[in-house]
Amino acid sequence: MARGWKTVSRAASLILAVLLLGSVAATAPVLAAGTTIEFWHCEVEQARQDTTNALLAEFQAANPGIVVKVQAIEENDMRTKLTTAQAARRLPNLVSLSSELILRLGNAGLLDTKAAAEVIDGFGRKDFYAGALGFVSTPEGGHYAVPYTGWVQGIWYRKDWFEAKGLAAPTTWEAILAAAKAFNAPNDRVYGIIIGTSKDLYAEQVFTQFALSNRAYLFSADGKVTFNTPEMVEALRFYKDLANYTPPGPESWREARDLYLNGTCAMMFYSTFIMDDIGIERTGFKGAIVRDLVKKTGFAPFVKHAVPASFGAVSAFGITSTSSQEQVEACKKLIRFLMTKEDYIKLMHMAPGGFNPVLKSVAKSPEFLEEPVLKAWGDTYRTIAEGLDSIQTFALREGRIFPDYGNISAQFIIGEALYNLTEKNWTPEETAEWAQKKMEQTVK
């Protein structure tokens, strides 16, 4: 979905990957005597692995007493892998995970909150976007992990089409539904909107924004699951109505991206990872590429019904509590290295727009902003970066964190509920009751 750091050639990357694993004879004696840490992350794209591996090799060269064993694992597979590792008591020492998985590990007492606090304080808490810190907060007010990057979700829409029909920007339920109806022409293979209808995280992310805009919360103030409230049922009913204007069959982020890029849908929900794809006219793409799509695209960063609601996600570095003190210190040193300005910018530029710094000083720096994709989006990008202060999630309500959300999300209960609603034609009421029971069982 994104381009990697171009300064590392493929040949150099292969050499660095070998160094990373400690397989070069000249370095073996130093590595064998050092502290070994295992690091899992979800950046499986080859270009991102090349960048990450190069930086890890630099870190090891500067810290010959530390060996980093790294695994890149697909995000959906990471959940299963963590469960297996947890059962076998063989967790890695350092993880880079979505906040949902961080909450899951933290709720099980498997993350070192003291180490996270020391790293955060080292950078200065005021330099972190408040929303990013909130996503990994503990119920006691500490932090399970160190926020690392974040993205903002919203509706990306064909601004030129909206202007031609005189339609309002899709920021309210009414405006979104009106536009979906106006542009939907399935006989011409043009669709009004793409929303998630598969049993996956994308569907959960899209629905969250509608639910929160109707004050439909996943937890009550005292921590009980509340997926069957009238507000949630109303949000499910609206979601089912919108699904009438999507392509047939289960839809996920790949369909959303592809249909928008080739000009066959008017609106789609997507994270800011799409900025790179929209900004580059690729050859060999499935379907015709719409030219000058950046100029033709608008972004609605919130959905409004009862209240405006924004949505986003944060990934964070978590140090596991099963690590030795030597491994904890090595992990802290590695996080500081990767989030030091020069190296941090290299990592963020792996996916311009999708990877957004959680440190204000970096996000506003000319060195970070002087990147072709970010420059092409101009003021739109500045709005997105500032959105990291106000993004919301089901795990947060009125400043309180509910770590049980991590377990609910890990089982894709919301995604499956939306699949049942849209593809199996369940009623909103039976969908809500089914999900309520599944969530209550999970929390117990």
Q: In the prediction, which pLDDT does 282 show?
A: 54
Ranges of each domain in the chain: 10-150+315-385, 152-311+390-443
Q: In the prediction, which pLDDT does 388 show?
A: 84
Residue 39's DSSP bridge partners are 70, 94
Cβ–Cβ < 8 Å for 225, 395: no
Q: In the prediction, which pLDDT does 382 show?
A: 76
Nearest to 33 by CA among 42, 47, 22, 18: 22
| Residue 186 one-letter amino acid | P
- State the Cα–Cα distance between residues 370 and 280, nearest whole angstrom: 16
| Residue 16 one-letter amino acid | L
Residue 280 neighbours by CB distance under 10 Å: 18
What is the CATH topology of the domain spanning 152-311+390-443? D-Maltodextrin-Binding Protein; domain 2 (3.40.190)
- State the Cα–Cα distance between residues 109 and 89, nearest whole angstrom: 13
Q: In the prediction, which pLDDT does 21 show?
A: 37
CATH of domain 10-150+315-385: 3.40.190.10
Residue 144 token pair:
């399970």
HEC string of the chain? Answer: CCCCCCCCCHHHHHHHHHHHCCCCCCCHHHHHCCEEEEEEECCCCHHHHHHHHHHHHHHHHHCCCEEEEEEECCHHHHHHHHHHHHHCCCCCCEEEEEHHHHHHHHHCCCECHHHHHHHHHHHCHHHECHHHHHHCECCCCCECCEEEEEEEEEEEEEHHHHHHHCCCCCCEHHHHHHHHHHHCEHHHCEECCECCCCCCHHHHHHHHHHHHHCCCCCECCCCCECCCCHHHHHHHHHHHHHHHHCCCCCCCHHHHHHHHHCCCECEEEEECCHHHHHHCCCCCCCCCCCCCHHHHEEEECCEECCCEECEEEEEEEEEECCCCHHHHHHHHHHHHHHCCHHHHHHHHCCCECCEEECEHHHHCCHHHHCCHHHHHHCHHHHHHHHHHHCCECCCEECCEECCHHHHHHHCCHHHHHHHHHHCCCCCHHHHHHHHHHHHHHHHC
Sign of CA dihedral 42, 48, 49, 55: negative
- State the Cα–Cα distance between residues 144 and 224, nearest whole angstrom: 22
Q: In the prediction, which pLDDT does 30 show?
A: 34
Residue 230 neighbours by CB distance under 10 Å: 11
Q: In the prediction, which pLDDT does 286 show?
A: 56
Largest separation between any pair of C-alpha atoms in the chain: 70
Q: For the chain, list residues with pLDDT below 50.
A: 1-32, 283-284
Burial 133-172 (b: 16+ CB within 10 A, else e): bbbbbbeeeebbbbbbbbbbbbbbbbeebbeeeebeebbb
Q: In the prediction, which pLDDT does 344 show?
A: 97
pTM of the model: 0.79
Question: Quick check: do 10-150+315-385 and 152-311+390-443 share a fold?
Answer: yes
